[in-house]
Amino acid sequence: MTVTAVVGAQWGDEGKGRIIDYLAQQADVVIRFQGGDNAGHTVINEYGKHALHLIPSGIFNPATQNIIGTGCVVNPQSLLEEMDHLAAAGVNLDNLWISSRAQMVLPYHRTLDILEEAARGKDTIGTTRRGIGPAYADKAARSGLRMGDLLQPDWLRARLDNALRTVNRKLEILGGEPVDGDALYELCLEFRARLGRRIVDTVPLIRRALEIGADILLEGQLGVMRDLDWGIYPYVTSSNPTAAYAASGAGLPARCIDRVIGVVKAYSTAVGDGPFPTELFDADGEKLREIGQEFGATTGRPRRCGWFDGVAIGYAAWLNGMTGLAITKLDVLDHFETIKICTGYRLPGGEVITDSMPDTPVLYQVTPVYESWPGWMTSTAHCRSWDDLPKQARAYIHRLSELAGIKVDYVSVGPEREQMFAV
Ligand code: GDP
Ligand code: IMO
Ligand code: MG
């Protein structure tokens, strides 16, 4: 039995979905532990190419139970669309479950997300506009609705009326239209008709899985640099993508987690606003975007691109208690004669820091300190083992591992399931 948390070690979009898809071939249970349909987890396998938003990336293995965990915020509308899309591709959905305690994202959360961003003027966060912030805010304010509420019509109606009392005032202040409670209640009953049988108390299910020694994967959304507490606040998401939250969000005891795999690109990308020290504004940045096809899986926005950030990986590895790294997109660097790695941040006073992450206002002012590594200038897409890799690529990976302070467990050299190997 192994419980493995798979978490993003950078600014998101590290390739978590494809790692989970690969590992789920051997897993009994996959649980998404936080976030909502702001996620875009791309998986390419025998079912084609799919950008998963809410459905765990283990869904392609019919023998794996897939649970949308309690720490998630679930938009039933977009979940239904995603289910239809996967069903049309022939994917079995009999093994998809939703925690009754997961929060619900309703249409007004998306409206509020858009209106709140507009109200921020030039100080936007660059959210995915999926209503994630407002839904988690309602959770903390105790005015959220949970997926299990759909199963209790009277309770649902009362909770909805309670929520709309404040929601409609907020909408009015921000210049939106008020929500009609009757129409929204009817919509919720439609959600219940289609999703009701999948909404379960996950505790008995996960408890039993642990008792029989099942292999469990905990799937994170986004990455540590957008963590609500440890990321570049306020340019963060409204939940905790770090491994410490995996147990709570998935619904199992913290001491059960055996492995924490940190997923990292062989370079850096970010979507949305906020400091991003290694961002490139030159031809190399453009080249990373073009070759890496760095466009958001959820919003289609061009991703900001930069060199690998060794300070961020050290921070991510420590904070998450990572046991190993999964390095993705190595092949994107095949075409670079020289590759840079950021090994420290120079503060405005001249001091260089390597082993701590400055807070947001300072991070805006740091200058990355780089070292240069020779590229390998040959395709790695066909490599299927450590020994297949060119020696310069192995040296580069060694350096990333050294900066993280942990070993490398997996390397990927292309987006397809078989373009990945254990080290
Ligand atoms: P996630 O949100 O962490 O699951 O990552 P995304 O799916 O948003 O972004 C990763 C992107 O890189 C997707 O388009 C993947 O298909 C692609 N990808 C993942 N691993 C590799 C790789 O090793 N090489 C290449 N070229 N593309 C990859
Ligand atoms: P995956 O799971 C990359 C970013 C947004 C914005 C900030 C807050 O595919 O890695 P939110 O909508 O969550 O309130 O936005 O976080 N963001 C992501 N960036 N990948 C994601 O998901 C993201 N989810 C949110 O761009 O900066
Ligand atoms: Mg993504």
Q: Residue 210: pLDDT above 80?
A: yes
Domain of residue 300, CATH code: 3.90.170.10
Strands (E), 89-128: 96-99, 103-104
pLDDT score, position 188: 98
pLDDT band of residue 220 (cuts 50, 70, 90) is: very high
313-333: pLDDT as tens digits? 999 999 999 999 999 999 999
Query: What are phi and psi for residue 142, nearest 5 degrees?
Result: 65, 25
Q: How far apart are CA 355 and CA 153, in angstroms?
A: 53
Question: Would you state the pLDDT for residue 297?
Answer: 74
Sign, CA dihedral 349-352-357-360, equals positive
Q: How confident is the model at residue 296 (pLDDT cuts 50, 70, 90)?
A: confident
128 and 270 within one domain: no
- C-beta of residue 400 within 8 angstroms of C-beta of residue 328: no
Task: Please check whether residues 226 and 168 belong to one and the same domain.
Answer: no
Beta strands in 106-248 (DSSP E): 199-200, 216-223
The verdict on whether 41 is a catalytic residue reads yes
**Which atom of ligand 2 lies at the shortest distance from residue 273's CA?**
27
With a 6 A CB cut-off, is 272 part of the ligand 1 pocket? Answer: no
The answer to whether the CB of 239 is under 6 A from ligand 2 is no
Q: Note whether 44 and 416 are within 8 A (CB).
A: yes
CB 344 within 8 A of CB 352: yes
Q: Is residue 413 lining ligand 1, measured as CB closer than 6 Å? A: yes
What's the mean pLDDT when you consider all of the chain?
A: 97
Q: From start to end of 185-307, where are the E strands?
A: 199-200, 216-223, 259-265, 268-270, 304-306
Q: Does 343 lie in the same domain as 312?
A: yes
**Residue 247 CA, ligand 2 centroid: distance in Å:** 21
243 and 281 part of one domain: no
Q: How many domains does the chain have?
A: 3
Q: Are 414 and 332 in contact (CB under 8 A)?
A: no
CB 356 within 8 A of CB 319: no
Q: Which of 240, 261, 282 is the last residue of a domain?
A: 261
Q: Is 181 exposed, middle or buried (0-12, 13-18, 19+ CB in 10 A)?
A: middle
Counting from 1 in the atom list of ligand 2, the atom nearest the Cα of 298 is 9
20 CA from centroid of ligand 1 (Å): 12
**Torsion 307-277-358-141 (CA) sign:** negative
- d(CA 411, CA 385) in angstroms, rounded, equals 9
- pLDDT recorded at residue 1: 84
Residue 66, pLDDT > 80, answer yes
Do 331 and 270 share a domain, yes or no? Answer: yes
- CA-based nearest residue to 97, from 26, 47, 25, 147: 147
Q: Is any ligand 2 atom within 6 A of the Cβ of residue 128?
A: yes
Q: Is the CB of 222 under 6 A from ligand 2?
A: yes
Q: Are 67 and 56 in contact (CB under 8 A)?
A: yes
Residue 9 CA to residue 336 CA, distance in Å, equals 23
Same domain? For 117 and 94 the reply is: no
Residue 405 and residue 314 in contact, taking contact as beta carbons nearer than 8 Å = yes
Residues 6+ apart with CB under 8 A from 138: 103, 109, 144, 163
Q: Which ligand is nearest to the CA of 228?
A: 2
Kindly state whether residues 42 and 114 are assigned to the same domain: no
Express each pLDDT in 8-61 by its tens digit: 999 999 999 999 999 999 999 999 999 999 999 999 999 999 999 999 999 999
Instruction: Work out the burial of residue 128: count CB atoms within 10 Å of its CB; fewer than 13 is exposed, 13-18 middle, 19 or more buried.
Output: buried
Ligand index nearest the alpha carbon of residue 15: 1
Among 181, 196, 211, the domain-final residue is 196
pLDDT over 80 at 414, yes or no = yes
Collapsed DSSP state (helix, strand, coil) of residue 279? strand
| Cβ neighbours for 351, distance < 8 A, ≥ 6 positions apart | none
Which of 127, 227, 360, when mutated, tests ligand 2's pocket best, judged by the most ligand atoms within 8 Å of its CB? 127
Range of the domain at 162: 103-196
52: nearest Cα among 38, 71, 73: 38
Residues 247 and 375 in one domain: no
For residue 364, the model assigns a pLDDT of: 97
Average pLDDT over residues 228-234: 98
- Report the pLDDT value the prediction gives residue 332, as an integer from 0 to 100: 98
pLDDT at 185: 98
**Residue range 186-206, pLDDT digits in tens:** 999 999 999 999 999 999 999
**109 among known catalytic residues:** no
* pLDDT for res 79: 98
Instruction: Give me the residues paired with residue 43 across strands.
Output: 50
Cβ–ligand 2 contact at 70 (below 6 Å): no
Question: Ligand 2 in contact with 42 (CB < 6 A)?
Answer: no
Average pLDDT over residues 102-123: 97
87: CATH: 3.40.440.10
Looking at 13, 37, 227, 309, which residue is catalytic?
Answer: 13
Residues 292 and 371 in one domain: yes
Identified catalytic residue from 41, 50, 53, 109: 41
Q: pLDDT digits over 154-165, tens only?
A: 999 999 999 999
Domain CATH number, residue 167: 1.10.300.10
Q: What is the pLDDT of residues 331-341, one digit of tens each?
A: 999 999 999 99
Which ligand 1 atom minimizes the distance to the CA of 263? Answer: 3
- Give the model's pLDDT for residue 299: 80
